[in-house]
Amino acid sequence: MLDQLQALPADPILGLAAAARADTRAEKVDLTVGIYMNEQGICPVFDAVRDAQAALAADETTKAYLPAAGVADFNTGMQELLLGADHVALQDKRVSSVSAPGGCGALRIGAEIIHAAAPGATVWVSDPTWPVHLPLLGSVGLQFSSYRYYDPSSHGVNFDAMVEDLKQAGAGDVVLLHGCCHNPCGADLTLEQWGVVADMAAAQGFLPFIDIAYQGMGDGLDADAAGLRLLAERLPEMIVAGSCSKNMGLYRERTGVTLFICRDRDNAQALVSQALVAARRIYSMPPAHGALIAGRILADAQLGEAWRTELLQMCERINGLRSTLRQKLESACDRDFAFIEKEKGMFSFLGLSAEQAVRLREEYAVYMLNSSRINVAGVNAGNIDYLAESVAAVL
């Protein structure tokens, strides 16, 4: 039976990252996978994470399963981190959540809930969006439509086109929104534009589904969640998929949360029961280690302050890289790259053709996706001049 199965092509991003790792050229620059790298090209461990992990190892007395919904400190801490401790939805006790295996697991649980409520519902996704959104949500049985989002000519959000497309979304539909630091384009909605989306959702009846994987890596923890919080104030219900992979560096620990903002407390608890049944048939019980670490950081004032300081430093470095990269590219290419400095988070389209991206890989050992999407955090003082010179050469 099994010998009938054929080998499938590698994931386009992970496959390209593997090719970069195998490249032995000393000048190699890898801007493929969305992982934060420091100046030494290493994905660092936060000091706050090390301290929380050491305390966990000293205190831990069992490896028994967690409660099905996950670690209480983690769930409470993530609700407050995403919404703000004083948010009206929390005060009204109409918020609930479950721990999930990373942001991907959180998205999948959200998709399961949507399918249970409206089998075969249509999910509106931005063009472009993170490619994994489609298999994660589509494998449940949900359908897709796209709304225009990124304008390559202006390197910004084509909000008029987005609004025009979303006028077609109605009751029973879901609109998937990137909470901040849009992956892959880095172009985010303004708070005023979030307000327009909230008004549309209230009038048309569609359900917002927010994927927020980069909170704290754009303008700061509160600013990056401002749009999400605005929607949660104005709308009776929405779903949020959160992750600690990026803002705590817990990539391999698979630490995520699915958050439900509901009409009332009873509905919020009903959603948890639905989520736990879905989780039971997918992965049974939530992973513990990352959630226990994150829960300690979020519940402990000293650890939390240390983490926030480290995260702010990371955010400031990314924004500084954007400014420097813009200057280096404009100097090397005599072309306007101001958009790089305006975007948020780790990603940006450089505006190159697929042929130019291939040339960069083959001739200069500079690895980026064919769309010219780069991980800005893969840039450092040691490679930025070579990167700019290489881009200039293919332009």
The residue with tokens 């999407």 is 373
CB of 95 within 8 A of CB of 259? yes
Determine the Cα–Cα distance for residues 138 and 146; give it in Å rounded to an integer. 13
Q: Where are the alpha helices (DSSP H) in 60-206?
A: 72-83, 88-91, 102-117, 133-138, 159-166, 191-204
DSSP 111: H
Cα 369 versus chain centre, distance: 18
> In sequence order, which residues have a C-beta less than 8 Å from that of residue 314 and are 6 or more positions away?
36, 217
- Which of the residues are catalytic? 130, 211, 246
Distance in Å from the first CA to the final CA of the chain: 51
Determine the Cα–Cα distance for residues 95 and 38; give it in Å rounded to an integer. 36
Quote the tokens at residue 144: 């897709």
How does strand 207-212 pair with strand 238-243? parallel
CB of 89 within 8 A of CB of 232? yes
